[in-house]
């Protein structure tokens, strides 16, 4: 274990029923449901514990992260690292290097794959052997949506009232609905103005609509599980679109208002409605996280038509296409993020 590099990868997830609004320790007000995406939207994290290190060092996308000056998220990562090290009875410091396969802060939930990869890699490097449920609780403390990326396929995060009750579990694995895809329309790669961590708090403190969202989202979560079981694209699509709209309505109702949807996002949203109307049933859904990029959920057999029409409506647009992917995994040594930073311990 000591001086050995462990490298793990975890995939992002897209919420069909959103998590928005949280109590301490990232315990949400409502349960949520997501699909874990494929390996093309993932975070890779390498970890090594070594007595040659004088202090913990963390690099995210090539940038050193300082525990005291790196903001709330950085503090959480170092706290979780200390807690896991204590649990393992290990004294050595860690060097952690993490990289996303997609742009961070674009509403693509990079924090989710990052949190899951971090928890999984540190667990492996410390030989802790924690269960997936425990890892989902740990990932949740770093980033709420991260608890869902600890599982592959289709995932339910039970809101719970206390930390031990707030964890994710798999509903169906990644082979359940191979036709289903998420085509992410990249409207912008710019960093978002209000981070989700700030947004969660601003909304629960100031939105008058928010109290109505809690029972609505809770009901959506139970119904989404049923619709995923039945692979019911028509009804699941309506649920996904309404849940996204409902969450964005509470954001807009916050004071000052929080808004992530741009003109291009609206053109995509309107196009999806036009396609579904013309078909007489829902063959596609849109859903947006805390950013303007639009996740288009559809089946492979409809994707050419849907993406062509969206492309015609908004002009030159890039899509990242992903399908349900697996749970976090350890990667072979040749995939380690070994660069000049890891030479520190050599």
d(CA 187, CA 33): 24
Adjacent-strand bridge partners of 15: 34
d(CA 247, CA 249): 5
Kindly indicate which of the ranges 3-11, 16-24, 36-44, 317-325 contains the residues binding ligand DP6, using the contact rule CB under 6 A.
16-24
Give the C-alpha separation, 182 to 15, whole Å: 11
**How many CB atoms neighbour CB 312 within 10 A?**
9
Applying CB under 6 A, among 7, 9, 26, 42 the residue interacting with ligand DP6 is 26
According to DSSP, residue 178 is labeled T
CB of residue 49 to ligand DP6, shortest distance in Å: 25
- Using the rule CB under 6 A, give the single segment among 52-60, 118-126, 195-203, 234-242 that binds ligand DP6: 195-203
Beta-sheet strand order (sheet of 329-330): 63-65, 57-60, 93-100, 42-50, 6-11, 329-330
Tokens of 294: 């639009």
Q: Which residues pair with 40 in a beta bridge?
A: none
Chain centre distance of CA 230: 24
Residue 19 binding ligand DP6, by CB under 6 A:
yes
Q: Which is nearer to ligand DP6, 7 or 196 (CB)?
A: 196
φ/ψ of 204, rounded to 5, equals -65, -30
271-279: Cβ within 8 A, 24+ apart: 271/309, 271/310, 271/313, 271/314, 272/241, 272/296, 272/306, 272/310, 274/309, 275/305, 275/306, 275/309, 276/237
Question: What is the separation of C-alpha 63 from the centre of its chain, rounded to a whole number of angstroms?
Answer: 21
Residue placing its CB nearer to ligand DP6 in the complex, 67 or 331: 67
Candidates 14-22, 234-242, 303-311, 333-341; binding stretch for ligand DP6 (CB under 6 A): 14-22
Site string for ligand DP6, 97-136 (x = CB under 6 A): ------------x-xx------------------------
DSSP code at position 187: S
* CB 233, min distance to ligand DP6, A: 20
Closest-approach residue to ligand DP6 (CB):
144
Which of 144/292 has CB closer to ligand DP6? 144
Among 57, 196, 220, 246, binds ligand DP6 (CB under 6 A): 196
Check binding of 56 to ligand DP6 (CB under 6 A): no
Q: How far is the CB of 107 from ligand DP6 (least distance, A)?
A: 7
Q: Least distance in Å: CB of 185 to ligand DP6? A: 16
Minimum distance from residue 173 beta carbon to ligand DP6 (Å): 20
Contact string (CB under 6 A) for ligand DP6, positions 288-327, x = contact? -xx-------------------------------------
* Residue ranges that bind ligand DP6, judged by CB under 6 A: 15, 18-20, 26, 32, 109, 111-112, 143-145, 196-197, 200, 289-290
């Amino acid at each position: 274990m000591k001086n050995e590099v462990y490298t793990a990868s975890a995939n992002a997830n897209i919420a069909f029923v959103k998590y928005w609004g949280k109590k301490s320790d990232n315990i949400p007000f409502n349960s949520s449901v997501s699909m874990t995406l494929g390996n093309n939207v993932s975070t890779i994290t390498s970890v090594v514990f070594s007595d040659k290190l004088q202090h913990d060092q963390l690099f995210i996308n090539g940038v050193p992260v300082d525990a005291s000056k790196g903001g709330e998220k950085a503090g959480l990562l170092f706290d979780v690292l200390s807690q896991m090290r204590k649990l393992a009875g290990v004294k050595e410091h860690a060097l952690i290097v993490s990289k996303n396969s997609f742009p961070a802060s674009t509403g693509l939930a990079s924090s989710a794959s990052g949190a899951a990869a971090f928890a999984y890699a540190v667990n492996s490097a410390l030989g802790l052997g924690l269960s997936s449920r425990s890892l989902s609780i740990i990932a949740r403390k770093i980033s709420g949506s991260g608890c869902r990326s600890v599982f592959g396929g289709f995932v339910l995060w039970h809101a719970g009232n206390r930390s031990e009750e707030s964890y994710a579990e798999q509903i169906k694995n990644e082979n359940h609905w191979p036709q289903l895809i998420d085509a992410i329309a990249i409207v912008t790669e710019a960093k978002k103005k209000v981070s989700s961590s700030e947004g969660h708090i601003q909304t629960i403190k100031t939105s008058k609509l928010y109290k109505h969202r809690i029972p609505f989202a809770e009901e959506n979560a139970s119904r989404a599980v049923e619709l995923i079981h039945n692979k019911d694209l028509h009804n699941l699509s309506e649920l996904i679109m309404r849940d996204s709209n409902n969450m964005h309505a509470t954001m807009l109702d916050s004071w000052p208002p929080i808004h992530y949807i741009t003109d291009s996002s609206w053109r995509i949203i309107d196009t999806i409605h036009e396609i579904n109307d013309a078909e007489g049933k829902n063959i596609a859904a849109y859903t947006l996280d805390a950013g303007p990029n639009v996740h288009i959920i559809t089946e492979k057999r409809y994707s050419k038509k849907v993406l062509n029409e969206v492309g015609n409506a908004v002009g030159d647009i890039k899509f990242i296409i992903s399908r349900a992917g697996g749970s976090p995994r350890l990667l072979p040594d040749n995939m380690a993020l070994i660069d000049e930073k890891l030479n520190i311990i050599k």
